[in-house]
Amino acid sequence: MFPLNAWYVACTPDEIEGKPLGRRICGLSMCLYRDGEGRAAAVEDFCPHRGAALSLGTVCEGKLVCGYHGLVMGRDGCTVSMPQQRVGGFPRIRSYPVLERYGFVWVWPGDPALATPDALPHFEWAESPDWAYGGGLYHVEADYRLMVDNLMDLTHETYVHASSIGQKEIDESPVTTRVVGQEVVTSRFMENVLAPPFWRAALRANGLPDDQPVDRWQICHFTLPSHVMIEVGVALAGNGGHQAPDAVKASSVVVDFITPETGTSHWYFWGMARRFKVDDPELTASIREGQGRIFAEDLAMLESQQRNLLDHPGRDLLKLNIDAGGVQARRMIERAIAAETAAASA
């Protein structure tokens, strides 16, 4: 259902500020917190003493303390201490490799021996001062792959987001899907069109006229386990579109980290990284607010899809050319799961 030997976004740093956080990831109930050395940590959300949720406890002097009877849990899943008790024989609980990077806390739900920082892709927008980032989190009652499908076929913008980023020309422009190494790439280019409201606002924010024809692009990049980075933008028409100089365009990367919760629900970390006016936090806040409103429009659709699919388990869906991005992404996911299964049985 989901690859386990992979880094997933578990939470944002503010979610573990001064207190633990309970979150189910890939079906596993985890307690995330920040330890005394400032390092994020993740252990099973199950106190070995009486089974209480450790996430209801506290972080005290950098240590995770169970809020029921004071057991102190180590980041490795071994009990550190408990008042008046010898804890040497206490059963170990699971701990999960954790990495903090790009402004997110990442967790590896699978075999810890395979967890290497190298397995995390590089995201330039997250590390370079040329970019500004803002984002948020939604909980969605739908299989995480339905969100991958959604993001790999932006045709839906015309319908789901008609009043903000949708426009009829999306529908009318062909898409191309390629598998490039470990990446699925779906692209669509629209030349000499009028920008929809969201992009007109972006042009204005970038000091550009908003009433002239533009070239618009959408280039979706899927990588395992379930990241979708989408290069989006508009350039004043005739300047090379996606390749146009920064001065005549407004461009961003839509950032989507999709973390399965259960087989039919997920955590959706969405955001936007932009390359213009990067020192303007008010613009970041206003884009974030607008994106949050737009991206919330997808939730009802995906949740209706999930209910329909549960209602009709055997039913095949269509795989049109516009669906090729999602189809290829799902194949990549299936191959990763099959490889894990094969390795486990070997």
Which residues here bind a second copy, judged by CB under 8 A?
29, 45-46, 48-53, 56-57, 65-70, 82-85, 90-91, 149, 153, 155-156, 158-160, 171-172, 174, 300-301, 304-305, 307-309, 311-312, 315-318, 320-323
- C-alpha angle 263-266-269 in degrees, rounded to nearest 5: 155
Output helix, strand, coil percentages for the chain, rounded to the nearest 5.
30, 30, 35
Q: For the CB of residue 82, give the shortest distance to a second copy in the complex, in Å.
A: 8
Q: State how far the Cα of 209 lies from the Cα of 250, in Å rounded to an integer.
A: 11
β 28-34/40-44 pair status: antiparallel
Q: For the CB of residue 119, give the shortest distance to a second copy in the complex, in Å.
A: 28
Q: For the CB of residue 58, give the shortest distance to a second copy in the complex, in Å.
A: 8
Q: State how far the Cα of 172 lies from the Cα of 187, in Å rounded to an integer.
A: 13
- Going by the DSSP 8-state scheme, the letter that residue 225 receives in this structure is T
Q: Which is nearer to a second copy, 70 or 121 (CB)?
A: 70
H helical segments located in 53-123: none
Burial of 315 (0-12, 13-18, 19+ CB in 10 A): exposed
Q: Which is nearer to a second copy, 126 or 299 (CB)?
A: 299
DSSP characters over 125-187: HHH-TT-EEEEEEEEESS-HHHHHHHHH-GGGHHHHTTTTT--HHHHHS--EEEEETTEEEEE
Q: For the CB of residue 283, give the shortest distance to a second copy in the complex, in Å.
A: 30
Q: Which is nearer to a second copy, 284 or 328 (CB)?
A: 328
Q: For the CB of residue 145, give the shortest distance to a second copy in the complex, in Å.
A: 11
Q: Which is nearer to a second copy, 245 or 313 (CB)?
A: 313
Helix (H) / strand (E) element for 104: namely: strand 104-107
Report the b/e string of 1-26 with b at 16+ CB within 10 A: ebbbbbbbbbbbeeebeeebbebebb
Strand, coil or helix: what is 331?
helix
Sheet holding 58-60, edge to edge: 58-60, 63-65, 72-73, 79-81
- Each as own residue / partner, the long-range contacts of residues 67-73 (CB below 8 Å, 24 or more positions apart, any chain) are 71/47, 73/43, 73/47
Q: For the CB of residue 32, give the shortest distance to a second copy in the complex, in Å.
A: 16
Q: Which is nearer to a second copy, 28 or 114 (CB)?
A: 28
State phi, psi for 319 to the nearest 5 degrees: -125, 85
Q: Which is nearer to a second copy, 72 or 114 (CB)?
A: 72
Q: For the CB of residue 215, give the shortest distance to a second copy in the complex, in Å.
A: 19
Q: For the CB of residue 155, give the shortest distance to a second copy in the complex, in Å.
A: 5
Q: Which is nearer to a second copy, 70 or 238 (CB)?
A: 70
Q: For the CB of residue 83, give the shortest distance to a second copy in the complex, in Å.
A: 4
Q: Which is nearer to a second copy, 39 or 50 (CB)?
A: 50
Q: State how far the Cα of 130 lies from the Cα of 128, in Å rounded to an integer.
A: 5
Q: Which is nearer to a second copy, 300 or 343 (CB)?
A: 300
Closest CA to 254 of 220, 291, 229, 277: 229
